[in-house]
């Protein structure tokens, strides 16, 4: 299961606490950030953006609340751990650059490496590589005062990256730059996130920047007022946790796909949907394997959905070790997973071949799978509701409500949990049979 790499829990930062000039810079902010996300913290001047960023970096201690980065509570770190944390786990970029004027560009970039016990040659090589990458290798021997603002910011980004931290924090990094240099720095950030896969948190008050982020934390008066999602990179479990904020994840995503692909043939859409189907099917069936095992299995499932491999090969490859091209599961899990996948696929074919007779068989399957106990009358109702959903005459909420509602009110009277499980299964099978 993918854990958030940053967890801010009810963070409060209060200056001059108890005095007449008390300022609540942060007033109970909670945020969870997952690996590889590009987050923007957005809001008007003075709303607490920098305070939140410095809270995450450990530069600002909480008055109340917790900040946990990569599983470590910052408040419980020893001094030594904190130093290590700043050198290797996070890189910081500031609006005002904070370069050391008496050191050359190259030495400024090398600086975070000085304490890491590497040879001078190694340090300089890594630093030069970054300077070349950002198009400033010719400035290596110059001093910061000889550079333009945009060049200075690229130097400070190189410095932030030199120890290869997983997380980059940037406080208004283009606030002092002309528009061309600003664009250049924004492009670099996008690359650091998209290609280098760094988790990136950028503070800005400029609405034009928001399109770059996967997720935007909107702040006002020391509080988080809302979150806005552009691309969701969070794992499925994280989304399930805040169902209230993102209801109907699968269907809305599917709806979007439908809209996007409306000019394509059914067959083309079918092909485009396969990776998405593989993902949904996987997160539906599995919840406790590590990322690597899941990633490998997802690829195998794609092959299976594309019909490049049969169920036997799927089962064998899931079981096989990584270094032999497998997913590194075990025999038992591989077999039971394959059986489940086969069962699900069989339902989709059933529904596709003969809808009316198919519905009865499909309902029998659901009854058996979830061990549902119905009397004759309720079973008929159950079938009718499933049919309505399969024919798309009600949506998933409509189905859930009908399954959940008490018998005497015309429902099926399932427990909420069972109703949810049935609905999820039905939704998955509907997705899979779409132009399958």
**Minimum CB distance to ligand ADP, residue 100 (Å):** 24
Non-local CB neighbours of 72 within 8 Å, separated by 6+ positions = 81, 85
| Helix ranges (DSSP H) in 58-208 | 79-88, 105-110, 120-133, 149-161, 179-194
Phi, psi at 42, each rounded to 5°: -125, 140
Residue nearest to Mg ion (CB): 50
* 175 touching ligand ADP, by CB under 6 A: no
Using CB under 5 A, which of the segments 5-13, 46-54, 161-169, 313-321 binds Mg ion?
A: 46-54
Residue 28 binding partner per list ligand ADP, Mg ion, none, with a CB distance cut-off of 5 to 8 Å that depends on partner kind: none
Q: How far is the CB of 99 from ligand ADP (least distance, A)?
A: 21
Instruction: Identify the CA nearest to 157 among candidates 178, 180, 187, 179.
Output: 187
Question: Which residues, 332 to 361, sit near Mg ion by CB under 5 A?
Answer: none
Assess 50 for contact with Mg ion (CB under 5 A): yes
Q: Which residues contact 51 (CB under 8 A, 6 or more apart)?
A: 13, 25, 26, 60, 222
- Taking the least distance from each CB to ligand ADP, the nearer of 48 and 413 is 48
124 touches 110 (CB < 8 A): yes
Residues 6 or more apart whose CB falls under 8 angstroms from that of 331 comprise: 319
Site for ligand ADP contains 348 (CB under 6 A): no
Measured from the CB of residue 95, what is the shortest distance to Mg ion in angstroms? 8
Q: Which long-range contacts (CB under 8 A, 24 or more apart) does 404-410 make?
A: 407/378, 410/381
Task: Using CB under 6 A, count the residues that bind ligand ADP.
Answer: 11
Q: Is there binding between residue 204 and ligand ADP (CB under 6 A)?
A: no
Task: Please name the residues in contact with 91: beta carbons below 8 A apart, sequence gap of 6 or more.
Answer: 159, 160, 161, 162, 163, 165, 167, 168, 169
Residue with tokens 């934390």: 217
Compute how many residues bind Mg ion; rule: CB under 5 A: 1
- Residues 6-35 touching ligand ADP, rule: CB under 6 A, are 15, 23, 25
Helices (H), 115-196: 120-133, 149-161, 179-194
Shortest Cβ distance from residue 171 to ligand ADP (Å)? 7
Nearer to Mg ion, 95 or 313 (CB): 95
Footprint on residues 229-258 left by Mg ion (CB under 5 A):
none
Tokens representing 265? 């043939």
Query: For residues 231 and 256, is the Cβ–Cβ distance under 8 A?
Result: no
Determine if 283 is a binding residue for ligand ADP (CB under 6 A).
no
The one of Mg ion, ligand ADP, none whose footprint includes residue 415, by CB under 5 to 8 A per kind, is none
**CB of residue 45 to ligand ADP, shortest distance in Å:** 4
Q: Which of residues 35-94 bind ligand ADP (CB under 6 A)?
A: 43, 45-51
Which residue, 175 or 275, has its beta carbon nearer to ligand ADP?
175
Q: Does 193 bind Mg ion (CB under 5 A)?
A: no
Q: Which listed option, ligand ADP, Mg ion, none, makes contact with residue 23 (CB within 5 to 8 Å by class)?
A: ligand ADP
β-pair partners for 38: 200
Contact residues toward ligand ADP (CB under 6 A) are 15, 23, 25, 43, 45-51
Contact residues toward Mg ion (CB under 5 A) are 50
């Amino acid at each position: 299961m993918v854990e958030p790499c940053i967890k801010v829990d009810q963070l409060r930062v209060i200056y001059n606490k108890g005095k007449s000039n008390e300022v609540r810079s942060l007033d109970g902010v909670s945020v969870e950030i997952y690996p590889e996300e590009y987050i923007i913290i957005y809001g008007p001047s003075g709303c607490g953006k920098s305070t939140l960023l410095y809270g995450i970096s450990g530069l600002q201690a909480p008055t109340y609340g917790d900040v946990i980065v990569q599983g470590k509570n910052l408040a419980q770190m020893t001094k030594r751990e904190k130093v290590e944390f700043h050198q290797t786990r996070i890189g910081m970029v500031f609006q005002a650059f904070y370069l050391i004027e008496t050191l050359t560009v190259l030495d400024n970039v090398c600086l975070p490496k000085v304490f890491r016990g590497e040879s001078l040659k190694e340090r300089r090589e890594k630093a030069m590589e970054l300077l070349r990458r950002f198009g400033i290798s010719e400035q290596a021997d110059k001093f910061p005062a000889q550079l333009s603002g945009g060049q200075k910011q690229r130097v400070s980004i190189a410095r932030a990256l030199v120890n290869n931290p997983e997380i980059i924090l940037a406080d208004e990094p283009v606030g002092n730059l002309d528009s061309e240099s600003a664009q250049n720095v924004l492009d670099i950030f996008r690359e650091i996130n998209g290609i280098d896969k760094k988790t990136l948190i950028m503070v800005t008050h400029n609405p034009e920047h928001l399109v770059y982020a996967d997720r935007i934390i909107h702040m006002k008066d020391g509080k988080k007022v809302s979150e806005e999602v552009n691309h969701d990179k969070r794992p499925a479990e994280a989304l399930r946790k805040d169902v209230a904020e993102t209801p109907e994840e699968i269907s809305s995503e599917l709806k979007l796909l439908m809209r996007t692909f409306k000019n394509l043939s059914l067959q083309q859409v079918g092909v485009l949907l396969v990776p998405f189907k593989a993902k949904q099917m996987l997160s539906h069936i599995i919840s406790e394997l590590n990322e690597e095992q899941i990633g490998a299995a997802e690829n195998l499932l794609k092959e299976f959905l594309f019909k490049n491999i049969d169920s036997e090969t799927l089962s064998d490859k899931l079981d096989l070790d990584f270094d032999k091209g497998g997913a590194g599961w075990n025999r038992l899990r591989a077999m039971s997973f394959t059986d489940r996948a086969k069962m699900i696929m069989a339902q989709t074919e059933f529904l596709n071949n003969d809808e009316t007779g198919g519905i009865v068989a499909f309902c029998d399957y659901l009854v058996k799978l979830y061990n549902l106990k119905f009397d004759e009358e309720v079973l008929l109702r159950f079938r009718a509701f499933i049919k309505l959903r399969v024919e798309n005459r009600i949506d998933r909420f409509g189905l859930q409500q009908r399954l959940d509602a008490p018998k005497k009110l015309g429902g099926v009277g399932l427990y909420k949990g069972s109703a949810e499980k049935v609905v999820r299964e039905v939704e998955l099978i509907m997705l899979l049979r779409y132009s399958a």
